[in-house]
Amino acid sequence: MLTGKEPAQAIKDEVAERITKLGKRVGLATVLVGDDPASEVYVRMKHKAAAKVGMYTYDHHIPGDTPQGEVEDLVRNLNADPAVDGILVQLPLPDGLNPDTVIDIIDPGKDADGLHPYSLGLIMLERSGGAVPATPQGIMKMLDFYDIETEGKLAVVIGRSRLVGRPMGMLLNHKAANSTVVYAHSRTKDLESITAMADILIVAAGRPGLVTVNGVKPGAVVVDVGINRVDDQLVGDVDFDSIAEVASAITPVPGGVGPMTIASLLLNTVALAETRAEAG
């Protein structure tokens, strides 16, 4: 089983060391708009993890009816604040707010979640120097930690969101990974026959039970990104028990990709702080 705890701890240990070596305060600011309970939990977990590695956190929790202009002004203030090295705007934003224009305003040099168009542009070009979206980065680091070969493998990614699916496919497509990538999404026809070809199957749809054992090739590596609340329990997008019997490796939900996402956010933040320190 591909659990996230050990590889996430390895990243967090590295982050703590890099903060000590940097010898200055590293600050992560979070922006949470509204009272979505799941988002509140995620932001709390991010703060806790940041504090544990020695990062300072700045918590901006504002009402769900805050006008777009005020949310954007908050981000502009954080851009200008020298104590802030990384900015995370927790998604999704409440209905009525446009996440694109909020994210566009984040200084790419403080883009802790790696979702700014500049950061994503660097990913498309396979160029270093920007933040890498936290969840796909965490998955790549997890595959690396468990010595899972990506070169020449057929990787099927279900989902094409800015947050997970699309950058995930790009990272697997990079020469550093050399997978052959197929994107599947809500308009894909005959999903099962496509996923059944995958050596590496990444599922990021937010649909519980989307992938059953019939859609998994024996020996495949299955990464379940989905987080869904069903009957008061957290479940992923795949039928874990039956797939675990045929897959060579599978991530659990919870305890798989989630911890890697948080660790990657911290890694992005310390890397941004180092770049800012170098630039003086």
Task: Please say whether the beta carbons of 221 and 148 come within 8 A.
Answer: yes
Residues in contact with ligand NAD by the rule CB under 6 A: 135, 158-161, 163-165, 184-186, 188, 191, 204-207, 210, 225-228, 257-258, 261
The least CB distance from residue 129 to ligand NAD, in Å, is 24
The residues with which 87 forms a beta bridge, in sequence order, are: 29, 111
Q: Which is nearer to ligand NAD, 71 or 225 (CB)?
A: 225
The least CB distance from residue 232 to ligand NAD, in Å, is 16
The least CB distance from residue 237 to ligand NAD, in Å, is 7
Residue showing tokens 């060579």: 248
Q: Which residues of 104-129 are buried (b: 16+ CB within 10 A; e: fewer)?
A: ebbbbbbbbbbbbebbbebbeeeeee
* Residue 137 falls in the annotated catalytic set: no
Q: Which is nearer to ligand NAD, 78 or 115 (CB)?
A: 115
Cα–Cα dist 267/31, whole Å: 18
Handedness of CA 175, 178, 182, 183 (dihedral sign): negative
* Residue 12 falls in the annotated catalytic set: no
In one-letter notation, the amino acid at residue 79 is N
Q: Which is nearer to ligand NAD, 160 or 276 (CB)?
A: 160
The least CB distance from residue 9 to ligand NAD, in Å, is 16
Q: Which is nearer to ligand NAD, 109 or 222 (CB)?
A: 222
Residue 59 sits at φ, ψ, to 5 deg, of: -100, 115
The least CB distance from residue 206 to ligand NAD, in Å, is 3
Q: Which is nearer to ligand NAD, 135 or 179 (CB)?
A: 135
* Residue 90 falls in the annotated catalytic set: yes
Q: Which is nearer to ligand NAD, 119 or 135 (CB)?
A: 135
Active-site entry in 85, 110, 111, 113 = 113
Task: Please say whether the beta carbons of 116 and 167 come within 8 A.
Answer: no
Residue showing tokens 């305060």: 25
Residue 45: HSE in the Cβ half-sphere, 13 Å Cα cutoff: 15
Closest to 255 in 3D by CA, of 270, 241, 234, 273: 234
Active-site entry in 12, 46, 110, 217 = 46
- Neighbour order of strands in the sheet with 86-89: 56-62, 27-33, 86-89
The least CB distance from residue 267 to ligand NAD, in Å, is 14
> Which residues are catalytic, by number?
46, 90, 113
